Amino acid sequence: MFEPGLFITAEIRVKAEVDLGEAKQAIAAFCQGMNSEPGCSMAVAHQDNSDPRRFILWERYDDEAAFQQHFNAAHTQHFIQLGITELVQAFETNLMNQGDTQ
């Protein structure tokens, strides 16, 4: 289903003073920008059904170098500078080898 690579799961929270509609537009634009990055094959945002200010981002990069380059991208720097969200937690994972049970 997915090619091996570096998978990122990030939980972000829209700050209380930020208009939720504007934040959703910014998050969507951020994901669109990530999806245009070389080495990023997936960036999607999921909004929590019970807490609309909580979003989970799923991202897939070819490798660590592509992930590090993501932070230099103009759309990433723009999103950070907006200051509309806070990073709650993030995880870097790899696909589990289906034959690996150890």
pTM of this structure:
0.89
Per-residue pLDDT tens digits of the chain, which is 102 residues long: 578 899 999 999 999 999 999 999 999 999 999 999 999 999 999 999 999 999 999 999 999 999 999 999 999 999 999 999 999 999 999 887 755 555
CATH 3.30.450.20 fits 6-93, yes or no: no
Place of tokens 């897939």: 60
Q: How far is CA 90 from CA 1, 22, 38, 100, in A?
A: 23, 23, 21, 24
Domain ranges of the chain: 6-93
Report the distance separating Cα 24 and Cα 100, nearest Å: 39
